[in-house]
């Protein structure tokens, strides 16, 4: 385990981005297998998982890696004031961007005519749920996780939230408020 940690610390960008992307894509697999339409024997839509992985890699993993580094530079440390500032900025700036990238990015990769349809229908439900979930998880992240491992920790936490987003996105017939 010590060797893995040393390798991770030597290449934090690579470890964080690959780890985050793998966890992000795993969320879609979980959602399809256990929460998706039909029964658990219908199989997996690998193209869907590839699209989720693409959005995770091209935007989420890279954005979160840079975002968390920037937050640490602007508000260094794990004290109450710094953690609170990071959480508030995260919810005001990063949350709307990442949720929007998820819905619009997948719509773009699916070549939908209306790229904003899912975003319009599901953004506010996702954002309100995310504020409660992410505020707590980011407070833990900023307080206890070393900066070098924050993106991959976020990927683990994002696995849970992305299952929710993937499941919510599959609710095609429902308009959510």
**177: in domain:** no
| pTM of the predicted structure, to 2 decimals | 0.84
What is the domain count for the chain?
A: 1
Q: Is residue 175 part of a domain?
A: no
* Closest-CA residue to 157 (of 138, 177, 173, 142): 138
Residue 119 domain flag: yes
CA atoms within 13 A on the CB side of 152: 17
Structure tokens at 84: 């609170």
Burial of 174 from C-beta contacts in 10 A (0-12 / 13-18 / 19+): exposed
Both structure tokens of 22: 């793998």
pLDDT 10s digit of each residue in the chain, 177 long? 677 667 666 777 887 788 888 888 888 888 888 876 654 556 788 999 999 999 999 999 889 889 999 999 999 999 999 999 999 999 999 999 999 999 999 999 999 999 999 999 999 999 999 999 999 999 999 999 988 888 888 888 888 898 888 888 877 644 544
Distance of CA 170 to the CA centre of its chain: 17
Q: Which domain holds residue 155?
A: 2-170
In a domain, 16, yes or no: yes
Tell me, yes or no, whether 30 lies in a domain. Answer: yes
Displacement of CA 49 from its chain's centroid (Å)? 14
> What tokens were used for 139?
């407070």
């Amino acid at each position: 385990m010590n060797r893995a940690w040393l390798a991770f610390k030597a290449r934090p960008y690579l470890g964080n981005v690959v780890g985050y992307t793998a966890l992000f894509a795993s969320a879609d697999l979980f959602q399809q297998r256990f929460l998706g339409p039909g029964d658990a024997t219908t199989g997996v839509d690998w193209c869907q998982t590839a699209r989720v992985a693409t959005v995770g890699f091209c935007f989420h993993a890279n954005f979160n890696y840079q975002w968390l580094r920037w937050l640490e530079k602007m508000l260094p440390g794990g004290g109450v004031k710094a953690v609170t500032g990071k959480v508030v900025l995260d919810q005001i700036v990063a949350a709307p961007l990442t949720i929007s990238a998820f819905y619009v990015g997948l719509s773009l990769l699916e070549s939908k005519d209306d790229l904003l349809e899912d975003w319009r229908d599901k953004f506010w439900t996702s954002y309100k749920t995310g504020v409660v979930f992410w505020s707590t998880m980011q407070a833990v992240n900023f307080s206890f996780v070393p900066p070098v491992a924050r993106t991959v920790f976020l990927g683990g936490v994002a696995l849970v939230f992305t299952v929710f987003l993937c499941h919510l996105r599959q609710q095609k017939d429902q308009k959510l408020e």
